[in-house]
Structure 1
C-alpha cells in the first residue's frame, strides 16, 4: 500500500518561490487617479497651440498697425505742407501789416505847411515881423536812446518892435498844438537899426542935411520842435486851419480801421 504525504505548509505564501528574473523588462502600469496626467497632457498640447494662435493674431495686429502708421505718416506730411503754406501766408500778412503800419505812422506824422503857416499867421503879434521860416532836420538820437521826433523843428527869424513883443510871440507859439511848448525858445534877440525900404536911401534932414538915424528894432531868432502828436489827434485843429484833404484821408483810414479813432 502507498501512503500520501501531503505538506500543506508549502501552499502558504511564505513558502512560495519567487519567480526567477528573466532578461526582459517588466512594466508596471500605475494605478490610482489619472487626472493630473490628463491635465499635464492638456497643458503640454494646449499651451503651444495657444501661443501659436496668439502669435498669429499679434502678427495680424502688427500688419494692421503698420498700415495705420503709414496712413498717419501721409496725413502728417499733408498737414505739414498745409502748415507751411499757412505760415507763409502769415509771414506775408505780417510783412504787409508792418509796411502798412509804417506807412500809416509816417502819414500820421504829416504836418501840412499850409496849416503851419496859417497857425503862425494867427499867432504873430502885430508888432512882430517874420522874415524867414526854415525847417530843421531832426537831431540824431544818442546811442541807446529812443529815436527823436522825425518831424524835426522850425527856425523863425524876423524883426520886432521890442523885446516884449518877441516874448509875446514866443508865448503865443508855446500854445500851438503843432509845436512842443517846452522846446520853443528864443535863440537870439539883439537891437539893430531898422532896415530901409527897398529902393530908398538914408534919410537926411531937409534943413541942415544931417543924416537921420533909423529907429532900432529887435532882430530875433526863435527855434521850436514840431509836436509828435499824431495828426489823427489834431483833426479839429487841422479843420480850423483849412486842411481839408488831410482830414478827409485820416477819417477814411479811421473808418477802415487802419488808424484807431
Structure 2
C-alpha cells in the first residue's frame, strides 16, 4: 500500500505574536454596592449591639426596681404586723372595758332594792326577811345557766291572801325586778288569831275584829336591764353614788347607755 503524507506547516504563514496578546483582564467595576452592603452590615451589627445594651440596661433597672419593691414589701409586712399587734391590744382593752362596764351594769345595790321594797309594801303587809338567791330558771329549760343578776326571796306576814296578791302585783311593777318571775311560792294562814291587845290590829280592820295573819314567801328575779337604763330609779332610791359613777363612765365613752 501507498501512504500520502502532507505537511501543512510549510504552507502556514508564520505571524509574529503581538505584544500583549493573550486573555484580556476583566475590567474593574464600581465598588459602591460593596461599600453600601458593608456599611449596612456594620449598621445592623451596631443596632443589634445597641439594642442588646439597651436590654441590659432595662434588665438592670427592672432588677433594681424589683429589689426596691421587695424591700417595700418587707417594710409593709412589718408595718402590717405592727398594725395587727396594735389591733389586738385595742381589742384587749375593749374587752376589758366591756367587762368593766358589765360589772357596773349588773350591780344592784341593796340599799336601792330595800328602799324599793319599802316603797311598794302595802300597809297590811309586813316583810320579815329578804334573802338573795341565785334566781329561778325557766321550768322548760332545767339546764339553763344561773342568772347573772340573781334573785330575791321575800318572807313576811299579811293580813289576808288578798293583801299578798296585791303586794305581788305591786312588785311586778318594780323596774328592779323581772315581772315575769315575781311569784308567790308559799302562803299559809296561821291558826291563831291576832290578839289586838297584844299584837295590835291590821290596818283598816274593823275595831275589835280579830284577824288571821298569813305567812308568805314571794320569789323574784332581779331585772337584767342594764343599770345605765335605771339611773333615775337608782337616784330615786338613794343609790346616787352608783348612778354618778355610771354617768361618768357613760360620758367618757367607756360604757354605752341612754
Band the TM-score falls in, shorter-chain normalisation: 0.7 to 0.9
Query: What's the Cα RMSD here?
Result: 3.2
Gaps of 5+ in 1: 1-18, 201-213
SS at match of 1:182: helix
Residues 139/29 of structure 1: CA separation in 2 closer, same or farther (3 Å cut): farther
Question: Does structure 1 residue 72 correspond to structure 2 residue 69?
Answer: yes
SS of structure 2 residue aligned to 1:193? strand
> Higher mean Cα deviation, 54-63 or 170-179?
54-63
**CA 1:159 to 1:247, structure 2 compared with 1: closer, same or farther past 3 Å?**
same
**Aligned ranges for residues 222-261 of structure 1 at < 5 Å?**
222-260=218-256, 261=258
Equivalences for 1:34-49 in 2 at 5 Å? 40-49=37-46
- The counterpart of 2:119, out of the listed 98, 119, 122, is 122
Q: CA deviation at 1:188?
A: 1.6
1:220 matched to which residue of 2?
Answer: 216
Corresponding position of 2:131: 134
How do 1:176-187 residues align onto structure 2 when only pairs under 5 Å count?
176-187=174-185
Aligned-pair CA distance for 1:46: 2.3
Does the 8 A contact of 1:193 with 1:215 survive in 2? Answer: no
Q: CA deviation at 1:43?
A: 4.0
Q: 1:196 to 1:171 in 2, by over 3 A?
A: closer
Per-residue deviation at 1:193?
Answer: 3.2
Worse overlay, 84-93 or 116-125: 84-93
Which runs of 5 or more residues in structure 2 are unaligned?
Answer: 1-20, 199-209
Instruction: Name 2:5's counterpart in structure 1.
Output: none
TM-score (norm 2): 0.74
Find the aligned partners of 1:60 and 1:218 in 2 and give their Cα distance.
105
Q: TM-score, normalised by structure 1?
A: 0.73
3-state SS in 2 of match to 1:151: coil
Go from structure 1 to structure 2 and tell me whether the alpha carbon gap of 1:156 and 1:138 turns closer, same or farther (over 3 Å shift): closer
Check conservation: 2:194, 2:211, Cα contact below 8 A.
no
Q: Is the 8 A contact 1:123 1:173 kept in 2?
A: yes
Give how far 1:164 is off.
0.5
Q: Distance in 2 between matches of 1:183 and 1:71?
A: 69
1:107-145 per-position Cα deviation (integer Å, ceiling 9, x unaligned): 111110000000001111122122221212146795997
